[in-house]
Structure 1
Amino acid sequence: MAEAHQAVAFQFTITPEGIDLQLSYQALNQIYHSGVRSWKRRVSRMRNRVIKGVYPASPSSWLFVVIAILATLYMRSDPSMGLIDKIQQHLPLSSQGQTMLSALVFSTLLWLSLILALRFCLKLLLSYHQWMFEMHGPVSNTTKVWVVSRKPLLYSYQTSLPHLPVPTIKDTLSRYLQSVRPLLSDPAYKRMTELANGFESNLGNRLQRYLKLKALWATNYVSDWWEEYIYLRSRGPIMVNSNYYGMDFLFVTPTSVQAARAGNTITALLLYRRKVNREELKPSRVPGTVIPLCAAQYERMFNTTRTPGLETDVLQHWQDSEYVAVYHKGRFFRLWVYNAGRLLSPREIEHQIQRILDDPSPPLPGEERLGALTAGDRVPWHQMRKQYFSSGINKRSLDIIERAAFFVTLDDEEQGMKGDDPAGNLDRYAKSLLHGKCYDRWFDKSFSIVIYKNGKNGLNAEHSWADAPTIAHLWEFTLATDAFQLGYTDDEHCKGDTFPSATRLSLLMNGHCGVQAQICTSLTVAQSLADDVDCHVFPFREFGKGRVKKLRVSPDAFIQISLQLAYYRDRGGFCLTYEASMTRLFREGRTETVRSCSNETCAFVKALEGGEQCRRLLRLASEGHQNLYRMAMTGAGIDRHLFCLYVVSKYLGVDSPFLKEVLSEPWRLSTSQTPIQQIELFDIKNHPDYISLGGGFGPVADDGYGVSYIIVGEDMINFHVSSKYSCKETDSHRFGAEIHKALQDIMALMSAEPKSAAPSRGPSQPKKQL
């Protein structure tokens, strides 16, 4: 049985000779350097707060204003129109001192007034979203303002972003009825229209008033309720149902040495964390534009854990952590990544990882499958945590895991596309990242990194704290930094020197029959869920966005219409379709739903299946889809408004048959695009093999499909399809084949079109999120 080393700064005991005080200088030295690092970070944050507080001006502009005012006074001119003289009257100083101090006071007030005016103009500019609906053409004068603005920090735009507007009841209901028209028969549509009209004339306006009141004082009227009721209050497993995954490069593995890949990956992640803490990351923007997006989701990326509760979970975030938690063959380790305030080199981290891999000690009783508690139902995990992890060594060890910067699994399997069965290997790779063995991931952590035996890597992310574009931004940086900046030696090891080994944790389960029984129960629940997931991952290489854009069609609209055609062929009809959009043009914005199964799309699919020449219908469907996406991005979506109205009705204790029916409708086709946000990090032209596979998620409905896709470069689209084996009507591989055929059929249709065809209106729509 291995022992856990609990480092303490000092300990004392009462002896017959008096108090025996024993100091640990090594621990005190670590505390000292940790404190220095903490204060450096605080000073950096204070500096950033000042810079953000005066943005879009700069602190140095205050000196310019002061000099300008003093220069005008020297020239015997009064730019204050008498205000400086009035300030002088209240200063108990000499005449010359009064003049200087009053000039400084006036200059400061003038400077602050100018900043407020600039920030107001900035907020007005950010509130303007009509650019999204305009045709391609020259950049407008208002947009050019962004180009000449000075370099912002990560959170510089936060306080200037507009608040998410509350749509009118009438507009939301009108758009909702339009979205369900192709899915309902005439009698069913008439019934739904009557329900909507009754809701609007009675309960709707009452609920709307409460919602508008919330929008007045809340930063975002949707986000807190969305996080609470959609994610944290879910009592079922978050594995598969909520968490999602991200994959490594498709064709390349930078090193086959597991410890070396872990060393570079961990280092890259910590370099990214340093950039977030120092706010050195550029603010995210709408792809292809200079319009900034909300950066609030970055705040809880690291040092964050979702802890279970009886009725709702809680997201706990710590300001800093100097270690990561590591799992290998049933054992947990604390791996220190700082020494005397210095971030360890990749080689030093590799050395510690190798020591873990070489450690022959067995797991403690019950320790190996402890992670299954995070994979099963939430209430039993809360009860076990309260009963067995509230004190003693178990609590200390659990705290170490939860306070870690992130979680790392050293997997003893090999994954990736290479081998005798590339297609099957990709499917197994996806399933491994989505759920693993159901106990070798810590699903509560904000994200967990998986390093496989053959050097392949990937991640599993918890969903409540942020959406996929945020974690994708992190993962892009990690892959690029690992491959192109940190690099490896000729023998595939990390660069740098070595450092002492990691610390083993002890999670004692001896005699705790209750927790071991619950681990088995949670594992059974999780394993049943994992075994039911049918994953299929495939790269589509016949063409990509380059050829689609030549047809003057939005690539995303092209794919979404293809998905509708594929579903129609697979299931013989249409279904309510969820496409994730973002609302990060607004402060603390998260997601909105694009109901991509529209009247125009259905008309095109039926015409194509009927053998008609329907290029015009395709263009109408594409334009309609783009407009739906723009509406969702600019706060005019349907589903988040209806969701918030439903929450208000529950608080008021009133029932709405309309809202109840709307929110119970299943999303049998749930789709999302994984955006590539940092194209500059990847040189696809010179390194074509270094392309990402993207990521995916589990199916939302038991009888439906989950489809994630990533548009890579100009000539490839990677798809991730999921469904459940228990549903006899779905098959991920069959649906993947239908997607492949639908893309080809629509391209064949459009490629046969004469070149004089009318162009599609509007710019290519921005990327979206999971």
Structure 2
Amino acid sequence: MAEAHQAVAFQFTITPEGIDLQLSYQALNQIYLSGVRSWKKRVSRIRNRVIKGVFPASPSSWLFVAIGILATMYMQSDPSMGLIAKIQQHLPLRYKHTGTVWTPHALVFSTLLWLSLILALRFCLKLLLSYHQWMFEQHGRISNTTKVWVTLVRLFSSRKPLLYSYQTSLPHLPVPPIKDTLSRYLESVRPLLTDPEFKRMTDLANHFESNLGNRLQRYLKLKALWATNYVSDWWEEYIYLRSRSPIMVNSNYYGMDFLYVTPTPVQAARAGNTITALLLYRRKVNREELKPVRRHTLLQSTVIPLCAAQCERMFNTTRTPGTETDVLQHWQDSEFVAVYHKGRFFRLWVYRAGRLLSPRELEYQIQRILDDTSPPLPGEERLGALTAGDRIPWAQMRKQYFSSGVNRRSLDAIERAAFFITLDDEEQGMRGDDPAGNLDRYAKSLLHGKCYDRWFDKSFSIVIYKNGKSGLNAEHSWADAPTVAHLWEYTLATDAFHLGYTEDGHCKGEVDRSLPHPQRLVWDIPSEVQAQVCTSLAVAQALADDVDCHVFPFREFGKGRIKKCRISPDAFIQISLQLAYYRDRGGFCLTYEASMTRLFREGRTETVRSCSNQSCAFIKALETGEVLEQCRRLFRVASEKHQNLYRMAMTGAGIDRHLFCLYVVSKYLGVESPFLKEVLSEPWRLSTSQTPVQQMELFDLKNNPDYISLGGGFGPVADDGYGVSYIIVGEDMINFHVSSKHSCSETVNKAFVAEIQQRYLSDIIIYKVEKEKVI
């Protein structure tokens, strides 16, 4: 009751003696300080808008322009060539000084000139960022054009940018010529088709190009002129939000903790530091203090910015279900997180009096939740299964039973939270007598858990295990893995190296023990909802039981030894995966590798069709016992081809996003294309993705070699295929995450992994490196 009383800022009663007014100064002080924090954020946003609006110039540059114009006019010269006089005619401003009327109009002219210069600079920067030929040049063979370009980019990048400073200067994604896309498509499927099949597909492509294709292309070019990015909005809607199947396993992905190290075994302490690190990252995003992610060019001192639009919906975001399509909802701010523990949901406020709680205070609050012995309310324990099952039943339940009352308020607390946290009652990690098996169970736990103890609709959910191990599960529609990986790298590094722990494993800092208890969320779950929870849980459980995950660190060698061959590590691994698949399944398949298109504004991903004529030729030569020199030559050709495919995908000359958008246009026009229908129904039996390490400066692997990231993974895309994620860690290690389905007898994770781990990589390294010299 005392806490409830303190929550009331003021109250009054009418008595015979008059009005009795009682004020809670503590509550009013809390309101005041929270308001101050809110206004500081508003002022910061306005300031950042001004700085971004004039980039690559600075706000102070206006002063130099104004002083220059005024100085020129003081010397009886008119730098405006009569424009100031015209401004005098239309603006009734008068300011007399020694008989001359000029100052206000000169300042107006200076401002217009300054804005014009900013637009010109921004246009020049966009032209510079539209140049991508540097990606296709080799080390030591840089053209003079690229050298000049590098000099100009350095000049324009001399100012320290904010997170979103480059956004308006990034070029728009171009629409490739339809002829080029079809030509590249036919080349990509040639090794997968017989001669009659290839001829039929060629005829379909030619018929499509000469008839419907050009019509669809015109509509797509019109959209590209009008929209910021002609792919991203349709990709988000039709690939992610309109999918009616479970997003658990099928869409969401996971990220893991350190491989060898757990910074503390105290669950509440790990949660306290993790929450603090995440909120510090959010503060950097909100203030735009985070450095824009940039890609190094051939000259390592020059970097090119990548689109940062995906950061905008990182926090305070949820995916809400609909009968036809889901919707992403984002709130400007949130001062609390949602916590799940042993079937109960809590709201944990992370700010008090306008300040972020210390890690020790957050640990204290989390420990209160862990010590809470109250039982779950009827239907509460497995409520999260609604987010794990099919989308339409969840949409119907949400609309009918969660649109008002206590259910609405509690659901709001989860959906509006900065992020979701699960305090898991299990222990995970590479531990015990079966470290390999435990890693696999760790991956499955992060991918789906118990199918009801995660809130899969949140932008991301953090999992803190009983033994202090951590991980995350991320929803895919709002952003791609590199964005979440950047957040997770910062979180792990800040937790381990900056916040730290005391000798007994607790968070550092002091505790204000007057903090109010975390708020237990209240539900009134009717029997109809409980029945649907059981149905959704059965669907999700069947999906989870069917998934087989295998995680293994490859330690024989890493990118250091591969790069001695002057071969791209990514090309090396991709060709290795194709040979592993060939040996496992006895043939080739359509192979998906995700590459990013964030060199363009609002860019997301493009597909690299890694299975090429060149890679297949090498694999066949290797398997048929061709002479060593021939295999070496074919391998180099295949790796160079892969690199070229990757560069083309990054620079907007990919295949699949263009064909996908043409297909969407055809659906809007109500016309059928046998060619597009067949192309988009082809299964990706080998779906791969690299998780890049983007902030190596945060991890000192030389002095802290055990602090190695495990990366993350995802479920298989095809029922009869493999999902492979890998992360290249340091110079001597590659971590693999492989997934498949038990229901397909032809995909066996351990057999596929054995082909990668035991046979192929060692074979190739023999071919490519001999006595540590370049061949």
**Residue aligned with 2:348, SS:** strand
| 2:600 matched residue in structure 1 | 586
Tell me the amino acid that sits aligned with residue 722 of structure 2: Y
Q: Is the 8 A contact 1:615 1:753 kept in 2?
A: no
- Measure how far apart 1:79 and its partner are: 2.5
**Residue aligned with 1:286, SS:** strand
Q: Is the 8 A contact 1:533 1:722 kept in 2?
A: yes
Tell me the amino acid that sits aligned with residue 604 of structure 1: F
Within the alignment, does 1:699 sit opposite 2:711 as a pair?
Answer: no
Tell me the amino acid that sits aligned with residue 212 of structure 1: K
Give CA-to-partner distance per residue, 1:293-348, whole Å, 9 cap, x none. 00000000000000000000000000000000000000011111101110111001
| 2:101 matched residue in structure 1 | 98
Within the alignment, does 1:504 sit opposite 2:534 as a pair?
Answer: no
| 2:58 matched residue in structure 1 | 58
**Residue aligned with 2:295, SS:** coil
| 1:274 matched residue in structure 2 | 283
- Measure how far apart 1:111 and its partner are: 1.2
Within the alignment, does 1:628 sit opposite 2:637 as a pair?
Answer: no
The 1:83/1:419 distance shift into structure 2, 3 A limit, reads same
Q: Distance in 1 between matches of 2:106 and 2:77?
A: 12
The 1:507/1:237 distance shift into structure 2, 3 A limit, reads farther
Tell me the amino acid that sits aligned with residue 264 of structure 2: T
| 1:762 matched residue in structure 2 | none
| 1:450 matched residue in structure 2 | 463
| 1:745 matched residue in structure 2 | 763
Tell me the amino acid that sits aligned with residue 436 of structure 1: G
Q: Is the 8 A contact 1:336 1:502 kept in 2?
A: no
Q: Distance in 1 between matches of 2:371 and 2:464?
A: 15
Tell me the amino acid that sits aligned with residue 536 of structure 1: H
| 2:365 matched residue in structure 1 | 352
Q: Is the 8 A contact 2:123 2:169 kept in 1?
A: yes
- Measure how far apart 1:6 and its partner are: 12
Q: Distance in 2 between matches of 1:207 and 1:422?
A: 54
| 2:147 matched residue in structure 1 | 140
Q: Is the 8 A contact 1:263 1:347 kept in 2?
A: yes
Tell me the amino acid that sits aligned with residue 135 of structure 1: Q
| 2:32 matched residue in structure 1 | 32
| 2:81 matched residue in structure 1 | 81
- Measure how far apart 1:28 and its partner are: 4.9
| 1:761 matched residue in structure 2 | none
| 2:121 matched residue in structure 1 | 118
**Residue aligned with 1:450, SS:** strand
5 Å-filtered alignment, 1:612-651, equals 612=626, 613=628, 614-651=631-668
Tell me the amino acid that sits aligned with residue 71 of structure 2: A
| 2:573 matched residue in structure 1 | 559
Q: Is the 8 A contact 2:590 2:684 kept in 1?
A: yes
The 1:103/1:202 distance shift into structure 2, 3 A limit, reads same
Give CA-to-partner distance per residue, 1:41-100, whole Å, 9 cap, x none. 111111001000100000001111112222223333332233334434454414327321
Tell me the amino acid that sits aligned with residue 400 of structure 1: A
Give CA-to-partner distance per residue, 1:614-651, whole Å, 9 cap, x none. 10000000000000001100000000000001111111
5 Å-filtered alignment, 1:709-728, equals 709-728=726-745
Q: Is the 8 A contact 2:316 2:331 kept in 1?
A: yes
**Residue aligned with 1:71, SS:** helix
The 1:136/1:394 distance shift into structure 2, 3 A limit, reads same
Within the alignment, does 1:210 sit opposite 2:219 as a pair?
Answer: yes
Q: Distance in 2 between matches of 1:301 and 1:8?
A: 31
5 Å-filtered alignment, 1:680-699, equals 680-699=697-716
2:535 to 521, 533, 537: 521
Within the alignment, does 1:176 sit opposite 2:179 as a pair?
Answer: no
Q: Distance in 1 between matches of 2:274 and 2:559?
A: 30
| 1:546 matched residue in structure 2 | 560
| 1:415 matched residue in structure 2 | 428
Q: Distance in 1 between matches of 2:120 and 2:170?
A: 15
Q: Percent identity?
A: 82
1:405 to 418, 436, 441: 418
Q: Is the 8 A contact 2:564 2:774 kept in 1?
A: no
Aligned residues: 754
Q: Is the 8 A contact 1:709 1:720 kept in 2?
A: yes
The 1:115/1:197 distance shift into structure 2, 3 A limit, reads same
1:469 to 482, 491, 516: 482
Within the alignment, does 1:321 sit opposite 2:334 as a pair?
Answer: yes
- Measure how far apart 1:506 and its partner are: 3.4
Mean CA deviation greater in 272-281 or 143-152:
143-152
Q: Is the 8 A contact 2:365 2:518 kept in 1?
A: no
Q: Which runs of 5+ in 1 are unaligned?
A: 758-770
| 1:301 matched residue in structure 2 | 314
Q: Distance in 2 between matches of 1:406 and 1:394?
A: 19
Tell me the amino acid that sits aligned with residue 205 of structure 1: N
The 1:409/1:624 distance shift into structure 2, 3 A limit, reads same
Q: Distance in 2 between matches of 1:195 and 1:464?
A: 32
**Residue aligned with 2:41, SS:** helix
- Measure how far apart 1:691 and its partner are: 1.1
Tell me the amino acid that sits aligned with residue 695 of structure 1: G
Mean CA deviation greater in 643-652 or 138-147:
138-147
The 1:594/1:726 distance shift into structure 2, 3 A limit, reads same
Q: Distance in 2 between matches of 1:647 and 1:7?
A: 57
Q: Is the 8 A contact 1:251 1:690 kept in 2?
A: yes
The 1:113/1:738 distance shift into structure 2, 3 A limit, reads same
Q: Distance in 2 between matches of 1:179 and 1:84?
A: 61
- Measure how far apart 1:14 and its partner are: 11
**Residue aligned with 1:631, SS:** helix
TM-score (structure 2 length as normaliser)? 0.94
Give CA-to-partner distance per residue, 1:482-537, whole Å, 9 cap, x none. 11111111111101122425433334346x11111111111111011001110000
Q: Distance in 1 between matches of 2:69 and 2:580?
A: 69
The 1:13/1:400 distance shift into structure 2, 3 A limit, reads farther
The 1:719/1:390 distance shift into structure 2, 3 A limit, reads same
The 1:105/1:706 distance shift into structure 2, 3 A limit, reads same
Q: Is the 8 A contact 2:564 2:772 kept in 1?
A: no
Give CA-to-partner distance per residue, 1:142-187, whole Å, 9 cap, x none. 2233334210000000001111001111111100000000000001
- Measure how far apart 1:27 and its partner are: 5.2
- Measure how far apart 1:734 and its partner are: 1.3
Tell me the amino acid that sits aligned with residue 603 of structure 2: G
Tell me the amino acid that sits aligned with residue 54 of structure 1: V
- Measure how far apart 1:11 and its partner are: 9.9
| 1:430 matched residue in structure 2 | 443
Give CA-to-partner distance per residue, 1:20-49, whole Å, 9 cap, x none. 998776555444333322221111111001
Give CA-to-partner distance per residue, 1:697-755, whole Å, 9 cap, x none. 00000000000000000000000000001110011111111111211111111124995
Give CA-to-partner distance per residue, 1:111-141, whole Å, 9 cap, x none. 1111111111000001101110011136723
Q: Distance in 2 between matches of 1:715 and 1:144?
A: 34
Mean CA deviation greater in 77-86 or 494-503:
77-86
**Residue aligned with 2:223, SS:** helix
Tell me the amino acid that sits aligned with residue 475 of structure 2: E
Q: Distance in 1 between matches of 2:475 and 2:754?
A: 30
Mean CA deviation greater in 732-741 or 118-127:
732-741
1:226 to 213, 235, 243: 235
Give CA-to-partner distance per residue, 1:238-287, whole Å, 9 cap, x none. 00000000000111111111100000000000000000000001111124
Q: Distance in 2 between matches of 1:57 and 1:474?
A: 29
The 1:521/1:147 distance shift into structure 2, 3 A limit, reads same
**Residue aligned with 2:255, SS:** strand
**Residue aligned with 1:109, SS:** helix
Q: Distance in 2 between matches of 1:728 and 1:322?
A: 49
Tell me the amino acid that sits aligned with residue 318 of structure 1: W
Q: Distance in 2 between matches of 1:53 and 1:455?
A: 44
